[in-house]
């Protein structure tokens, strides 16, 4: 049986792994980032599940849900959290960074972040940053004429090299991003 001190020394927050003294993020910054993360998760879930009522202003009905669900929720929270923290580091340290994402089904996470940044609407002007644009974003996700459930060449800030996808968090994008930090 391990002692309490031994268990603490090997935890993610214990002295064995932590190189940060005090609190790594101010409470206000952490709260803003968490609210932003929740927004990306809502958008990710909305892209997968909703075809109508994007802001859930009325009680959810069967006709609001897509008939055929495509896309995977599983990787979205982690990818989005990584993207948000990467943007925070890019802005804090003026980094020139590339965010690589494998050819999986994390498109909702990446699209939700670039939509909130405004980059998606810059490239796809018919997907505006309002309720109508959000409706269009949700409706076109995984539709024949819309975006796919996986990151594709036509998604913003992305390039492909062989079997892996590269989602570029450009310094320009990160600096003007609305990601709270």
Given this model, what pLDDT does residue 174 score?
42
Higher pLDDT, 5 or 158: 5
In a domain, 86, yes or no: yes
Q: Are 166 and 100 spatial neighbours (Cβ–Cβ below 8 Å)? A: yes
Is residue 152, in this structure, part of any structural domain at all?
yes
What's the pLDDT tens digit per position in 16-63? 555 667 777 889 999 999 999 999 999 999 999 999 999 999 999 999
Q: Give the C-alpha separation, 46 to 141, whole Å.
A: 9
What is the structure's pLDDT at 134?
95
pLDDT score of 169: 37
Structure tokens at 127: 């997907």
Q: Is residue 85 part of a domain?
A: yes
Residues of the domain holding 75: 26-176
Q: Which residue has the higher pLDDT, 78 or 104?
A: 78
138 is a domain residue: yes
Structural domains in the chain (count): 1
What CATH code is carried by the domain that includes residue 115?
3.40.50.970
Percent of the chain at pLDDT above 70?
65
* Helix axes of 76-93 and 27-49: crossing angle, nearest 10 degrees: 140
Select the more confidently predicted residue: 62 or 147: 62
Residue 134 Cα distances to 47, 75, 156, angstroms: 9, 21, 16
Please state the rounded mean pLDDT for residues 101-113.
82
φ and ψ at residue 110, rounded to 5 degrees: -70, -40
CA–CA separation, 166 and 49 (whole Å): 26
Decide if 109 is inside a domain.
yes
First to last CA, the chain: 42
Question: Residue 164: which pLDDT band, with cuts at 50, 70 and 90?
Answer: very low
Q: Which of these, 103, 87, 88, lies nearest to 168 by C-alpha position?
A: 87
9: in domain:
no
pLDDT at residue number 181:
47
Residue 8 lies in a domain: no
Which tops the pLDDT comparison, 61 or 171?
61
What is the H or E stretch that residue 167 is in? strand 164-167
6 inside domain: no
d(CA 4, CA 165): 43
Give the residue among 44, 42, 48, 40 at the shortest CA–CA distance from 64: 48
* pLDDT of 180 strictly over 60: no
Q: If we measure between CA atoms, which residue out of 37, 30, 177 comes closest to residue 97?
A: 177
Tell me what pLDDT residue 130 has. 95
Phi, psi dihedrals of residue 171, rounded to the nearest 5°: -55, -40
Tell me what pLDDT residue 37 has: 97
For residue 68, what pLDDT is reported? 83
Give the mean model confidence (pLDDT) for residues 145-165.
45
Query: Quick one: average pLDDT of 148-174?
Result: 41
């Amino acid at each position: 049986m391990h002692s309490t001190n031994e268990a603490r020394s090997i935890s993610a927050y214990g002295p064995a792994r932590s190189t940060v003294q005090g609190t790594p993020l101010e409470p206000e910054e952490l709260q803003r980032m968490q609210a932003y993360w929740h927004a990306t998760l809502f958008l990710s879930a909305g892209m997968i599940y909703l075809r109508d009522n994007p802001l859930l202003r009325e009680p959810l009905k069967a006709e609001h849900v897509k008939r055929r669900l495509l896309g995977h929720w599983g990787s979205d929270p982690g990818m989005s959290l990584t993207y948000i923290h990467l943007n925070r580091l890019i802005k804090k340290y003026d980094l020139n960074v590339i965010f690589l994402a494998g050819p999986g089904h994390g498109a909702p996470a990446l699209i939700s972040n670039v939509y909130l940044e405004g980059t998606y609407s810059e490239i796809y002007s018919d997907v505006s940053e309002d309720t109508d644009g959000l409706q269009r974003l949700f409706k076109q996700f995984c539709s024949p004429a819309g975006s796919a459930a996986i990151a594709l060449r036509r998604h913003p800030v992305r390039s492909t090299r062989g079997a892996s996808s590269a989602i570029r968090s450009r310094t320009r994008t990160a600096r003007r991003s609305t990601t709270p930090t």
